[in-house]
Amino acid sequence: MKLSRKPGMPHPRLPLPKGQQEDLAVFQQWLGEAIPMVGALGISEMVREGDALTWQLALEPNLNDKGTGFGGALTAQTTLQGWCWVTLWLREQGLARDVVVAEASQRFLAPVADNYRLICTPLEPAGLAQLANMLAERDKGRIALTHQLYCGETLCLEASGSYAVLPQR
């Protein structure tokens, strides 16, 4: 049975993984329930390796009128991926916190003409340590992330975003 939500009604949080590795298939299923548009974005796989979160995506649900990737869908994917990156990192730390995008920008370099992969990493190598320090000192923090979208070996889009971890309620 699907939950019916109204605006302003938060979706229940996914339980923390409690000392075990996050099951990304379970996280992706929860994500689709929490944010209904996720099911339409064509995410076929999520993989975490080191500081990188990589998604494999299908082009078909993201087509524009020219038969290539729709910029609005690609932008939504980068924003959501950054939110997921921070949320998954927090969950790894045993923290259930609210995350919001504070700033985002994109640069379109080439048309996306086939299925593609999107890779998200911290913009700065020290970004994670800085975020951890801010959370410890001020109970809130920010991290800058970068995204690269590849269609085959062609870099089609570069994006960046700043994501804020809000204070505990």
Q: What is the pLDDT along the chain (169 residues), one digit of tens a residue?
A: 455 678 888 889 999 988 788 999 999 999 999 999 999 999 999 999 999 999 999 999 999 999 999 999 999 999 999 999 999 999 999 999 999 999 999 999 999 999 999 999 999 999 999 999 999 999 999 999 999 999 999 999 999 999 999 998 7
**Is 6 a member of any domain?**
no
Q: Can you tell me the distance from the alpha carbon of 44 to that of 116, in angstroms, rounded to the nearest whole number?
A: 10
Query: For residue 82, what are the domain limits?
Result: 24-165
Question: Which pLDDT score, from 0 to 100, does residue 1 have?
Answer: 40
Q: In which residue are the tokens 């979208």 written?
A: 149
Q: What are the b/e assignments for 17-27, b being 16+ CB within 10 Å?
A: eeeeebebeeb
**Is 18 a member of any domain?**
no
Question: Which pLDDT score, from 0 to 100, does residue 2 have?
Answer: 54
**Is 5 a member of any domain?**
no
**Is 161 a member of any domain?**
yes
Collapsed DSSP state (helix, strand, coil) of residue 77: helix
Cβ atoms of 148 and 157 closer than 8 Å:
yes
Whole-angstrom Cα Rg for the chain: 16
**CA-CA-CA-CA dihedral for 120, 126, 128, 133, to nearest 10:** -160
Among candidate residues 95, 100, 53, 55, the one with its CA nearest the CA of residue 79 = 100
Question: Which pLDDT score, from 0 to 100, does residue 6 have?
Answer: 81
**Is 136 a member of any domain?**
yes
Q: In which residue are the tokens 């969950």 written?
A: 91
Q: What is the value of pTM for the model shown?
A: 0.94
Q: How many structural domains compose the chain? A: 1
Question: Which pLDDT score, from 0 to 100, does residue 136 have?
Answer: 95
**Is 1 a member of any domain?**
no
CATH number of the domain bearing residue 30: 3.10.129.10
Which tokens is 115 given?
Answer: 């299925």
